[in-house]
Amino acid sequence: MTDGHTTLTRRRLLVALGGAGVVSAGSGLGTSAYFSDREEFDGNRLVAGELDLMVDWSEHYSDWSVDENDDYVDGSLIGGDPDEFDTDTDGDGVDDFEVVTTGGDPSAVPSGYVGVPTPTEPLVAVPSEALNDFQYNTEVEAYPDADGDGHQDPILTRNQIASFNPGLTAEEVETAYRDQFAQVPQDLEAPVIDLNDVKPGDFGEVTFSLHLFHNPGYIWLTGDLVSAAENGTTEPEADDPDEEEGVVELLDEVQVAVWHDDGDNVLEPEEVVNSPHAVTEPSNITLTAEEALITDGSLREVLAELSDGNGVPLDADPLTETRDCYPNSTTRHVAFAWWLPVDHANEIQTDSATFDLGFYTEQCRHNDGSGQAPEETETAGGG
């Protein structure tokens, strides 16, 4: 193209287009940008939960000594009506209530009496209104027991602790509440059951109070036979027709019953225990003696059952078809009673047995309660 204008040849046109392209590209690089924003979640944590099982207990032992039926102890009425018993049968200056020998026969328990150690195999019967006295008179060991008198110290509730100590924070109240209970075995100074002269007719019982903190859990009762020995054979023992050489008959003659208890240390026709179910108000469930019974049999049989796998599963509600977890921060009682029937004698002379009892717990969440072999069992005592 001419006529005084710049001649635009095809070459110049391509150069011009190329230059425009370069300019266009340069302009794009110069104005590139994007919108942005940042949301950060700092300080994330994963903290392992806690599952802590603590216990307290009260142990009773009856060898039929004369002070077991005292209506008063140290001059103070422990239970019943002070005018109910006004006879001093043993001449010790203290009024007594009548303890009836029943020899293991439930039909021999008079009306108004309670058969102990169990209603199905009572060795003696105690008047119902004197049961508190009998339990106090036969209590031999407990935790907590700060003064070492063999009687359990009162267990205070959180509300009582806060009321008596208004300056404590909620955290300090909780610490004081838990300090009442034992961490086993570090707080166990000696075996709970430790008896050296058991005779036919003797019986005893330990009620363990279980306190599960932080999370709900499945609980098992565990145990194991540590050792058993005949410790030689006396002449009367050798002459007894029931004596078997090399067999520790004490394990077969001592009988045991374990049950869900309401805290009074006696197996009764009804045991009222805390409900394990989620409720808006505190509630209880009522178990018959049969429903409350966890296991029974000879000491040998029960220890074999407790040492099999994870032990004996404890069901927080035996009334349901499925096994229920124990809620956290709920107290439940498990009683372990033993007795040596009066119709056994020489074949058990000098026999001894040492055994463990304990409780094992696992979290409920993500768990079906079938249990795994515990790496460490909290041992509650032996004897």
Rounded to an integer, the average pLDDT of 197-205 is 88
Which phi and psi (to 5°) does residue 230 adopt? -85, -25
Identify the residue with better confidence: 278 or 27.
278
Q: Where are the domains of the chain?
A: 50-62+192-383
Convert the pLDDT of each residue in 324-363 to its tens digit: 999 888 889 999 999 989 876 677 788 888 888 888 888 8
Rounded CA gap, 382 and 222, in Å? 12
Residue 378 pLDDT > 50: no
Q: What integer pLDDT is reported at residue 205 of this predicted model?
A: 93
Are 218 and 364 in contact by the 8 Å Cβ rule? The answer is yes
Mean pLDDT for all residues in the chain: 80
Q: What is the pTM of this model?
A: 0.80
Lowest mean pLDDT among 12-16, 126-130, 223-227, 326-330: 12-16
Rounded CA gap, 270 and 291, in Å? 9
The residues near 291 (Cβ < 8 Å, ≥ 6 apart) are: 318, 319
Rounded CA gap, 287 and 62, in Å? 27
CA 144 and chain centroid, separation = 15
Residue 55 pLDDT > 50: yes
**pLDDT band, very low/low/confident/very high, at 22 (cuts 50, 70, 90):** very low
Are 282 and 266 in contact by the 8 Å Cβ rule? The answer is no
